[in-house]
Structure 1
């Protein structure tokens, strides 16, 4: 065998071994971080029993089977943690993901929404559920409020929120009006923001004519941008860095195996993002501000979410 051919074969073997070795390292590294983030839920019996039956058969929807590319619901909780204090869920965003119709339905639950807190039997602001009972009580209260199961949750504290935005190169949004908040000036029109500035942008509500609803709109703007960037093929190269950076600030009941299925099987099918707003009215009760959502509106949101989760009929 010619010398150059031997050298080429040896070099190719070394390169292949290196690529394989890095692949094994990358897999183990990502798996280790994903395992650190994994935190399963403990169901709150009162909330499970209160879920409204769905579908004409009167049976609750079964948990999603990601291997079969079934639709699923996801609750994203942005938590403002403090030293020695669990904090409260500053943000509650529900996503209904359906690869069959290639869409995601996204809506915020206003943090001041007055509702029955699962497992406590008392009414309070929905964002207090996390302070009372952590992830389990927060998810159960949202399930109870919507009357439909939540398949998965992702809990992100605000430091992780900033890190994630920075890892994806920031976000660009169209700001409807100029304002100042958190030490930043936000001009009207198209603006580019890093993680810290985006957090200040998302948090402002007192100067917004829509109050908390305007704040919800800005949160959805940022989440839409992050989802769009995360679904791009080039972003897959950032998954290891993203998980390492935000791993300590994120908890979820999505397992590593399910994460892989979402990246490989679902990513290409989610082309359309639809947003909705929960309608209600603000009022003070005992000197405390609440956002009141009547039963008719809750039924409307429930039906929208259930419709989003239906399989597409036909060929």
Structure 2
């Protein structure tokens, strides 16, 4: 029973994925050569292109970063264990628009029922990773929200605590007094290490606001990571940070692309908006699914399409 509870609590790790923004927004060419060299080496380790996946048919041309064109990224938090291909327990579609200086972050519940592209079946959306890895996940999510997904970033969820600890912990503003897994979280501004940040962000059942409360805490972790990562004090530990990132992140973004993003899109990180999907829980053949209506999918599609400035 304890193991099942632990597995349940590993889902929806929104906060750890946004550590990727540190690469986009903090790592600039203005730093010393030693930092630049360490970052280059880390990104080379992280770079994992997807074979046989051309530009999305939902996009006509490749993105020109120098023209500051909007782009999208699929962020996946994956729990991979020995002897198991793993499932993407966190799925986030992130769109970035430099014209409006804004980022929209759509968190897709793991139980969402949808077509699994390339498998010819309907299943939970997080099963796409188990069936076909990153490529099938991208194809499936792209079909579900009907917008192009230009890049992906996959994070090993087991490495979350190391990532938070590598930046010296995070500071958050807590609005609910509660305890979880032996840690007590009083109301007010508190500093958390990796293990505490995990417990803080995953608690849901004791919060009267349910998922809304958990999402608030996740946003606090995100903001704490970005704030800490952008500080000079954190960069004195850059070697440990980059080493931790390289061990826990995979992406098809190249160093050159990340550098262009840092130069041309940095201001967008100041305005991050989280978008929620409304779904209805339903059991089909004894299995729980989240059912998203066509109207809700259209609403999400329209909002992200406008943000990406797609015709």
Shorter-normalised TM-score: what interval? 0.7 to 0.9
Aligned-partner Cα distance in 1 for 2:270–2:224: 13
Correspondence for 1:280: 279
Q: Tell whether 2:41 aligns with 1:42.
A: no
Correspondence for 1:147: 146
Q: Tell whether 2:37 aligns with 1:28.
A: yes
Aligned-partner Cα distance in 2 for 1:205–1:299: 28
**Contact 1:163/1:246 (<8 A) preserved:** no
**1:283 CA displacement:** 1.9
**Contact 1:110/1:216 (<8 A) preserved:** no
- Mean CA deviation greater in 188-197 or 209-218: 209-218
Give aligned pairs, total: 280
**1:103 CA displacement:** 0.9
Correspondence for 1:105: 104
Aligned-partner Cα distance in 2 for 1:132–1:117: 9
Residues 199-218 of structure 1 show CA distances to partners (whole Å, capped at 9, x for unaligned) of 22233334445555654443
In structure 1, the residue corresponding to 2:274 is in which secondary structure?
Answer: strand
Q: What is the TM-score of this pair, normalised by structure 1?
A: 0.78
Counterparts of residues 212-223 of structure 1 (less than 5 Å): 212=211, 214-223=213-222
Aligned-partner Cα distance in 2 for 1:236–1:25: 11
Change (3 A) 1:180 1:61: farther
Change (3 A) 1:214 1:23: closer
**Contact 1:43/1:140 (<8 A) preserved:** no
Correspondence for 1:255: 254
Structure 1's unaligned 5+ residue stretches are 1-21, 52-59
**1:144 CA displacement:** 1.1
Correspondence for 2:79: 80
Q: Tell whether 2:204 aligns with 1:205.
A: yes
Change (3 A) 1:211 1:81: farther
Change (3 A) 1:135 1:211: farther
**1:63 CA displacement:** 3.6
Change (3 A) 1:169 1:26: closer
- Mean CA deviation greater in 155-164 or 248-257: 155-164
**Contact 2:63/2:71 (<8 A) preserved:** yes
- Mean CA deviation greater in 219-228 or 65-74: 219-228
Counterparts of residues 125-164 of structure 1 (less than 5 Å): 125-164=124-163
**Contact 2:170/2:228 (<8 A) preserved:** no
**Contact 1:44/1:119 (<8 A) preserved:** no
Correspondence for 2:266: 267
Give the CA RMSD over aligned residues: 2.8
**1:184 CA displacement:** 2.4
Correspondence for 1:65: 64
In structure 2, the residue corresponding to 1:310 is in which secondary structure?
Answer: coil
Q: What is the TM-score of this pair, normalised by structure 2?
A: 0.79
Residues 211-265 of structure 1 show CA distances to partners (whole Å, capped at 9, x for unaligned) of 5565444334322332344455666665544221221111011101112222233
Structure whose CA Rg is larger: 1
Structure 2's unaligned 5+ residue stretches are 1-30
Change (3 A) 1:115 1:36: same
Q: Of the two structures, which has the highest relative contact order with CA contacts closer than 8 Å and spacing of 6 or more?
A: 2
**Contact 1:175/1:190 (<8 A) preserved:** yes
Q: Tell whether 2:297 aligns with 1:298.
A: yes
Aligned-partner Cα distance in 1 for 2:153–2:56: 19
